[in-house]
């Protein structure tokens, strides 16, 4: 009777496992066809459908700052914003590598740099964007960041817990249904005005932004590896420190200039690689261009994008 029970449990377990695995496979495939956020950019990269002459990499400070519409118009090129919200360089590297494996080599790479991007990612932001790609080799680093991913990998459908809309999203992919996409070539505009949180949280931020005790040596080595890779895949690499509100820079203190020097030294090591600093730009001194101390709003991003276009034109001559 025990044997019968164990056989039954094994058979049933296996059956359930296989059915769930097939279901997950189908959903993953559907999500890989999905043309909406947060899957769209990853899918475009994998399909090799971007093939831009200018690409922008980085975190939310890329995602919110570089407007390809303005840059395309000014430079008469095809540019694309591949900024990934809530990521540091460890995750940004995954996107860089995926892009280089599937798309033609860009003429110019703009990598946004700052202090926070140097910190290793502790928690995956918008984790669902990675779901269909857990088995992709480039994504191995995710396993080090999030312990749950191993179990999510082993138990089919477990990664979709709490995301009950995946069935709908996969179906959208299969049926090529596009929902409203507010982003333009990866750029996400935020037209809000200054949110005032900076003033309220200034004291708290003072502690958060005190990086004086942090040893950046190891992190800069990771950055250096990334930069070597960027350099190998492009004619010109611009390391751009996009504007930050000046009072925030004051809180970051001396570390800010130290890190800037490190980026500048890193750029000097490579041919056609330049460090461009916008932290003293006039934009930094007006709240009206920001929605918070770290991100430009639509107006600020438009002005900044004009300036970036001019900068690109200054450092690179398009074929």
Partner 1 sequence: MLFNSVEFLLFLPVIFALYWFVFKKLIHQNILILCASYFFYGWWDWRFLFLIIFSTLVDYSIGLLLQKEKVIRKRKILLWTSILVNLGLLGYLKYYNFFIDNFINAFASLGVEISESTLNIILPVGISFYTFQTLSYTIDVYRKKIIPTNNFIAFATFVTFFPQLVAGPIERATHLLPQFYKKRIFDYRNAVMGMRLILWGFFQKIVIADGCAPYVNDIFENYMNYSSATLIFGSVLFSFQIYGDFAGYSNIAIGVSRLFGFDLMRNFKYPYFSRDIAEFWRRWHISLSTWFRDYLYIPIGGSKGGKYSQIRNVFVIFIVSGFWHGANWTFIVWGALNALYFLPLLLLNKNRTHVDDFDSKTLFPTVKVFVQMCTTFILITFAWIFFRSDNITVAIDFIKHIFVNSNYLKISSAYTYNHNIRPLAVYLVFFILLEWFSRDREEFVNTFFERNTYFRYAMYVIITLVIILNIQNEASGFIYFQF
Residues 12, 141, 177, 208: which binds partner 1 (CB under 8 A)? Answer: 12
CA 59-101-128 angle, 5° bins: 45
Report strand pairing: 79-81 vs 273-277: unpaired
29 membership: H or E segment, kind and range? helix 2-31
Closest CA to 261 of 247, 245, 279, 246: 279
Q: Is 221 in the site for partner 1 (CB under 8 A)?
A: no
Q: Which value, in Å, is the radius of gyration of the alpha carbons in the chain?
A: 22
**What is the C-alpha to C-alpha distance for residues 271 and 217, in angstroms, rounded to an integer?**
23
Q: Is 148 in the site for partner 1 (CB under 8 A)?
A: yes
Complex with partner 1: residue 164 or 317, whichever CB lies closer: 164
Which residues are 290's β-sheet partners? Answer: 296
The tokens describing 317, both together, are 């001559």
Compute the least distance from the CB of residue 201 to partner 1, in Å.
21
Complex with partner 1: residue 20 or 313, whichever CB lies closer: 20
Complex with partner 1: residue 152 or 252, whichever CB lies closer: 152
Q: Is 151 in the site for partner 1 (CB under 8 A)?
A: yes
Q: Identify residues 244-263 at the interface with partner 1 (CB under 8 A).
A: none
Q: Is 124 in the site for partner 1 (CB under 8 A)?
A: no
Q: Which region, judged by CB under 8 A, interacts with partner 1, from 103-111, 150-158, 196-204, 210-218? A: 150-158
The tokens describing 30, both together, are 């559907």
Q: Is the dihedral of CA 228, 234, 236, 241 positive or negative?
A: negative
Which residues are 110's β-sheet partners? Answer: 56, 238
Q: Identify residues 14-53 at the interface with partner 1 (CB under 8 A).
A: 15-16, 19-20, 23
User: For 241, which DSSP code?
Assistant: E
Q: Is 207 in the site for partner 1 (CB under 8 A)?
A: no
Q: Is 160 in the site for partner 1 (CB under 8 A)?
A: yes
Binding residues for partner 1, total number by CB under 8 A: 23
Compute the least distance from the CB of residue 166 to partner 1, in Å.
9
> Is the backbone peptide bond immediately before 56 cis, with ω within 30 degrees of 0?
no
Q: Is 4 in the site for partner 1 (CB under 8 A)?
A: yes
**What is the C-alpha to C-alpha distance for residues 234 and 221, in angstroms, rounded to an integer?**
20
Q: Is 5 in the site for partner 1 (CB under 8 A)?
A: yes
Residues 137, 154, 162, 213: which binds partner 1 (CB under 8 A)? Answer: 162
Compute the least distance from the CB of residue 233 to partner 1, in Å.
37
Complex with partner 1: residue 25 or 285, whichever CB lies closer: 25
Compute the least distance from the CB of residue 146 to partner 1, in Å.
10
**What is the C-alpha to C-alpha distance for residues 95 and 116, in angstroms, rounded to an integer?**
18
Complex with partner 1: residue 19 or 221, whichever CB lies closer: 19
CA-CA distances (angstroms) from residue 15 to 63, 84, 219?
Answer: 44, 38, 46
Complex with partner 1: residue 123 or 217, whichever CB lies closer: 123
Q: How many CB atoms lie within 10 A of CB 169?
A: 22
Q: Which residues bind partner 1 (CB under 8 A)?
A: 1-2, 4-5, 8-9, 12, 15-16, 19-20, 23, 148, 151, 155, 157-158, 160-165
């Amino acid at each position: 009777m025990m044997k019968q029970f164990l056989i039954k449990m094994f058979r049933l377990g296996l059956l359930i496992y296989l059915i769930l695995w097939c279901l997950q496979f189908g959903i993953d495939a559907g999500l890989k066809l999905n043309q909406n956020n947060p899957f769209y950019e990853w899918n475009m990269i994998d399909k090799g459908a971007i093939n831009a002459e200018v690409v922008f990499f980085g975190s939310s400070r890329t995602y919110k700052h570089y407007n390809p519409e303005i840059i395309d118009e000014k430079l008469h090129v095809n540019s694309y914003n591949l900024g990934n919200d809530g990521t540091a360089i460890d995750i940004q590297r995954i996107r860089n590598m995926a892009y280089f494996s599937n798309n033609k080599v860009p003429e110019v790479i703009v990598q946004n740099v700052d202090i926070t991007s140097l910190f290793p990612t502790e928690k995956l932001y918008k984790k669902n964007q990675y779901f269909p790609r857990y088995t992709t080799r480039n994504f191995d680093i995710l396993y080090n960041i999030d312990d749950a991913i191993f179990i999510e990998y082993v138990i089919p459908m477990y990664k979709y817990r709490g995301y009950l809309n995946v069935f709908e999203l996969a179906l959208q992919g299969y049926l090529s249904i596009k929902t409203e996409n507010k982003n333009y070539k990866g750029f996400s505009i935020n037209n809000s005005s200054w949110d005032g949180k900076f003033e309220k949280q200034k004291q708290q931020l003072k502690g958060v932004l005190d990086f004086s005790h942090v040893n950046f040596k190891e992190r800069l080595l990771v950055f250096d590896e990334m930069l070597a890779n960027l350099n190998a895949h492009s004619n010109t690499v611009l390391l751009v420190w996009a504007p930050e509100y000046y009072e925030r820079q004051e809180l970051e203190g001396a570390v800010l200039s130290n890190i800037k020097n490190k980026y500048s030294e890193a750029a000097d090591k490579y041919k056609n690689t330049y460090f461009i600093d916008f932290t003293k730009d006039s934009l930094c001194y007006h709240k009206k261009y920001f929605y918070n101390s770290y991100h430009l709003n639509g107006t600020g991003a438009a002005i900044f994008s004009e300036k970036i276009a001019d900068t690109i034109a200054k450092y690179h001559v398009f074929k």
